[in-house]
Amino acid sequence: MIGVVEFVILAVALCAVAAAVAAVLIRRRRSRASAKAAGAEKVADLVVGRLADKTESAAPASARPALRQRLSKARGALSGPLSAAFDRAAVTDEAWAEAAEALIRADVGLASSSEIVAAARERAAAEGNDRGAALAALKAELHERLHGFDRSLKRLPEGAGPAVWLFVGVNGAGKTTTVGKLAKQQTDRGARVVLAAGDTFRAAAGEQLAMWAERASAHIVAGAPGADPSSVVHDAVSAAAARGADLVLADTAGRFHTEQNLMAELRKVRRVADNAAGTVTETLLVLDAATGQNGLAQARQFTQAVDLTGVVLTKLDGSAKGGIVVSVQAEIGAPVKLVGVGEGIDDLVPFDAAEFVDALFD
Ligand SMILES: Nc1nc2c(ncn2[C@@H]2O[C@H](COP(=O)(O)OP(=O)(O)OP(=O)(O)O)[C@@H](O)[C@H]2O)c(=O)[nH]1
Ligand SMILES: [Mg+2]
């Protein structure tokens, strides 16, 4: 038997133990709650971070990478070797030979590269003949060969019927994508645009163009698979005239440039487009910048068939061969009018010689 005193002592001890256990439990819960709060804060940071990333990726066109960034591969291929060539105590014959090699590697072409180096040597000699003078002379000579061309895309005066811009080129060069991007740019400027799905050769080509038409808010005229492309283009031009549209952008099928059928077909498309209610004011060769010297062979074939008015050089964003701008212009006598620098709808920009040369060198 325990007495009253012992009972009271036991009760007090039990209470003390219970209070201690309770205190420990409360402390633990508090620390878990504060850890949770800290975790929540971290999550919030991440979300804000991700939202910030999103905002950046959805930035307006003006905030997108400049041409210089898009041409980083081409710049690396040219400015690196040129800088190395003149990284010597004196500007030697060997340095100029290396410069010529760098230009040839960048696809400027053999003849143009030799001419540019010869002219740059003279220019640099008159300017002190040091590294700075040599690089500045090369840049100036490159610019000299590119500037001064009329690179505008011709439209017709109001009421003169629709202007037709015809896009030709080999498989996968970027014709359909270019038509889509350009349609968007033109409708954004208030032009009434009709797309002609002149590629009836590939089953999915019409659907691909229809998607671009939707994005660009342009009207599209397509034919049945296998239909005569010139009849589709004829219908598109008639529809454009009937609607009072300003512009018909005509996509065509891409096949090998050596195929006689394609060239005959393109000639017919061009003739029909010109004879209908519209006038062909641009015949643009769409050329993949990565095709290099083979691209020049293509350019020759197409210009014989359809009399090119200009070139759209696509995929310049992924190509080290920026020099093709010089050689293609020298080869066909028509300038590069537009360059493709990505797959997005806004990634087609007018070619600007000064901006281009700056982007390659600086
Ligand atoms: N990186 C990059 N890709 C591009 C550019 N232009 C087109 N492309 C891509 O190149 C591929 C072929 O483009 P298309 O427009 O289908 O080429 P196409 O000349 O119409 O091809 P065919 O109809 O088969 O003759 C697509 O994946 C495009 O997204 C560009 O400037 N840069
Ligand atoms: Mg196509």
pLDDT score for 309: 95
- How far apart are the C-alpha atoms of 314 and 17, rounded to whole Å? 81
CA dihedral 104, 109, 114, 115 (to 10 degrees): -140
| Pocket lining: 139 vs ligand 1, CB cutoff 6 Å | no
Nearest CA to ligand 1 atom 1: 342
| Pocket lining: 177 vs ligand 1, CB cutoff 6 Å | yes
Mutating to test ligand 1, I would choose from 314, 336, 345 the residue with most ligand atoms within 8 A of its C-beta, which is: 314
Helix 131-146 × helix 110-126 angle, to 10°: 130
| Pocket lining: 206 vs ligand 1, CB cutoff 6 Å | no
Mutating to test ligand 1, I would choose from 177, 321, 346, 349 the residue with most ligand atoms within 8 A of its C-beta, which is: 177
Atom of ligand 1 nearest to the CA of 171: 25
| Pocket lining: 257 vs ligand 1, CB cutoff 6 Å | no
| Pocket lining: 285 vs ligand 1, CB cutoff 6 Å | no
Q: Which ligand is nearest to the CA of 254?
A: 1
- How far apart are the C-alpha atoms of 164 and 276, rounded to whole Å? 10
Question: In this structure, are strands 310-314 and 193-198 parallel, antiparallel, or unpaired?
Answer: unpaired
Atom of ligand 1 nearest to the CA of 199: 23
In the sheet with 348-350, reading across from the earlier edge strand, the strands are 219-221, 193-198, 247-252, 163-168, 279-288, 310-314, 336-340, 348-350
pTM: 0.81
Atom of ligand 1 nearest to the CA of 205: 23
Q: What angle do CA 314, 104, 317 make, to 5 degrees?
A: 25
pLDDT of the chain along its 362 residues, tens only?
455 556 545 554 554 545 554 444 444 444 444 433 333 333 222 222 222 222 223 334 454 568 888 999 999 999 999 999 999 889 999 999 999 999 999 999 999 999 999 999 999 999 999 999 999 999 999 999 999 899 999 999 988 889 999 999 999 999 999 999 999 999 999 999 999 999 998 878 999 999 999 999 999 999 988 899 999 999 999 999 999 999 999 999 987 666 778 888 899 999 999 987 899 999 999 999 998 878 888 888 899 889 899 999 999 999 888 899 999 988 888 999 999 999 999 999 999 999 999 999 88
| Pocket lining: 317 vs ligand 1, CB cutoff 6 Å | yes
